[in-house]
Amino acid sequence: MKVKLHGPSQRLRRTSQAFFLLASLYTGWKFVLFVHGSGGGVSRPPGVEAFLPLSGLVGLKYWAITGILNSIHPAATVLLACFLLMGLLLKRGFCSWVCPFGLLSEVLWKLGEKLFGKNFKPPAAVDAVLRSVKYLVLGLFLWDIVFRMDAGALATFIYGPYNRAADIKMLFFFERISAFSLLVILSFVLLSIPIKNFWCRYLCPYGALLGALSLLSPMKIKRNIPTCTDCKLCTMACPSYIRVHQLKTVLSDECNACYRCVAACPVPHTLELKLGRKTVSPTAYFFLILLLFFGFTAAARLAHRWENSITDKEYRYIIEHIDSPEFSHRSAGGKR
Ligand code: SF4
Ligand code: SF4
């Protein structure tokens, strides 16, 4: 059953999602022009490093233990720090207010709802096993980067040729995508039509990291039991299958602060996002997201830590020699 959603929350969320989608598309388009332009004067957009989360994670640990924000992909590190803080303060709002893949997932499951009249949820046991896959993937990355690599190994990786070429490699991966990779991506897209948030719920390690951090967030969806009529509309509206109508406080790593349950609730002040005893309105939440994003990026620009130190000449060399073993993963660092 389609639940009617009231108030401004979903309009604000769509505005936020549209802004970050357009910013991502503009950044991607500028990066393509930079890589394929023949001296046309298009500069490399540093924001493209938002799509280098591993470089960001390595950079973040290096920053934490040495105090040095690396100059190879500083924007990757700054953006990851921003999104992790977002997870810590604002729950998993990154997934439902910022991430373009979250938006795509939402569009796809809504299409599935239109096509089939409903979405399909795997049986509880299968769902639980599948949900743990993203934590497994995250664990593998964290084990290698956070626990095993010391400052020397991190520096070898950061300043090595593989990481220097990471953004160019990412672009060429999509431009020259193999039939197998295309098939995998296509199957994720197709599975996301009948199954709500297939990628985000089961596979995305970024979502897993934010989900784990969100458990520490001081913001929580809270239900006022005395005024609740037990209509279950909140549970029906929740894309994460959280049984909101049975809870006093939502304590779930799958809650992405989408406000759908709040917007579905017909009784005023019965279901709200709370910070302590204060209600966090969708408008305030929207501005907090923007404040964090623009605060971090502006601080990085002011500190001259947004642009990286790789010259255009070196980029031309990387682009021309991208297939050489010099830029292969084996070159990432002798210790790895
Ligand atoms: S509990 Fe509410 S805010 Fe959290 S995911 Fe479900 S609908 Fe969205
Ligand atoms: S919290 Fe609101 S939407 Fe959920 S069961 Fe109670 S009255 Fe219904």
| Every domain of the chain and the residues it spans | 13-217+281-301
CB 329 within 8 A of CB 162: yes
- Residue to mutate, 255, 262, 270, 274, ligand 1, most ligand atoms under 8 Å from C-beta: 255
Ligand 1 centroid – CA 248 distance (Å): 13
Token pair 């002798």 is found at 334
Pairing of strands 271-275, 219-223: antiparallel
pLDDT (0 to 100) of residue 40? 64
Q: Does residue 39 register a pLDDT over 90?
A: no
Angle between helices 205-214 and 74-90 (to 10 degrees): 40
Phi, psi angles (nearest 5°) of residue 317: -65, -45
208 lines ligand 1 (CB under 6 A): no
Q: How many CB atoms lie within 10 A of CB 226?
A: 5
Read off the pLDDT of each residue in 223-239 and give the average, rounded to a whole number.
Answer: 96
* Ligand 1 binding pocket includes 200 (Cβ within 6 Å): no
Q: Which of 9, 220, 233, 247 to mutate to test the pocket of ligand 2 (most atoms within 8 A of CB)?
A: 233
**Confidence band (pLDDT; 50, 70, 90) for 279?**
very high
User: Tokens at residue 40, please?
Assistant: 């046309």
CA of 281 to the centre of ligand 1 (A): 14
Atom 8 of ligand 2 has which residue's CA nearest to it?
231
Across the beta sheet with 278-279, what order do the strands follow?
219-223, 271-275, 278-279
Distance CA(74)–CA(82), nearest Å, equals: 12
Contacts of 173 (CB under 8 A, 6+ apart): 181
Q: Provide CB contacts within 8 A for 104, sequence distance 6+.
A: 192
Find the length of the chain. 336
**Helical segments of 199-311, H only:** 205-214, 233-237, 260-264, 282-302
Q: What percent of the chain has pLDDT over 70?
A: 96
**Separation of CA 271 and ligand 2 centre (Å):** 7
292 lines ligand 1 (CB under 6 A): no
Q: What is the pLDDT of residue 336?
A: 36
The residue contributing the CA closest to ligand 1 atom 5 is 255
- Rounded distance between C-alpha atoms, residue 48 and residue 52, angstroms: 8
Pocket test for ligand 1, best of 9, 119, 261, 285 (most atoms within 8 A of CB): 261
Ligand 2 pocket mutation, candidates 228, 232, 248, 250, criterion most atoms within 8 A of CB: 228
Q: Which residues make Cβ contacts (< 8 Å) with residue 236, sequence separation at least 6?
A: 1, 3, 264
**Nearest C-alpha to atom 6 of ligand 2 is from which residue?**
228
List all residues whose CB is within 6 A of at least one atom of ligand 2.
223, 228-234, 244-245, 264-265, 267, 270-271
Query: How many beta carbons lie within 10 A of that of residue 94, not counting itself?
Result: 27
CB of 244 closer than 6 angstroms to any ligand 1 atom: yes
Band (330; pLDDT cuts 50, 70, 90): low
Ligand 1 atom having least distance to the Cα of 258:
8
Predicted local confidence at residue 210, as pLDDT: 96
What is the predicted pLDDT for the residue at 335? 39
Nearest residue (CA) to ligand 2, atom 3? 265
> What are the structure tokens assigned to 251, written together?
């304590």
Q: What is the pLDDT of residues 90-127, one digit of tens each?
A: 999 999 999 999 999 999 999 999 999 999 999 999 99
